[in-house]
Amino acid sequence: MSASATAKRVFWFDDHKTPNVADELAKEADLTVYRLAFDAAEEQNWAVMATCHAYCITSARDEVPDQYKGTAALIARCPELLVLSTSGAGFDPVDVAACTEAGVLVVNQSGANAEAVAEHVVAMLLSLSKNIPQTDRSLRTQRGVDREAFKGRNAQGRTIGIIGLGEVGRRVARICGKGLEMRVLAYDPYIEAADFRERGAVEVTFDELVAQSDYITIHCPYNAETKGLIGRRELALMRPNAYLITTARGGIADEDALADALAVGQIAGAGIDVWNVEPPPLDHKLLTFDNVIATYHTAGVTVDSRHAMAQWNAEQLVQIFKGERPPRLINPEAWAKFAQRFERAFGFRPASSGSPPMITGSAH
- Enumerate the active-site residues: 249, 278, 297
Q: Smallest Cα–Cα separation from 320: which of 54, 52, 71?
A: 54
User: What distance lies between CA 218 and its chain's CA centroid?
Assistant: 12
Ramachandran angles phi, psi of 162, nearest 5°: -110, 120
Sign of CA dihedral 138, 139, 143, 145: positive
b/e map 86-98, b = 16+ CB within 10 Å: bbbbbbbbbbbeb
Contact criterion met (CB below 8 Å) for 194 and 204? no
Contact criterion met (CB below 8 Å) for 351 and 325? yes
Where does the chain have alpha helices with state H?
21-25, 42-49, 72-77, 96-102, 114-129, 132-141, 167-174, 193-198, 206-212, 232-237, 255-263, 303-321, 335-346
Contact criterion met (CB below 8 Å) for 112 and 88? yes
Ramachandran angles phi, psi of 168, nearest 5°: -80, -50
Contact criterion met (CB below 8 Å) for 152 and 174? no
> How many H-runs (helices) and E-runs (strands) does the chain carry?
13, 14
Helix, strand or coil, per DSSP, at residue 113: coil
CA distances from 109 to 22, 118, 177, 305 (A): 15, 16, 26, 11
For residues 328 and 351, what is the distance between their CA atoms, to the nearest angstrom? 15
Give bridge partners of residue 54 from the DSSP assignment.
10, 83
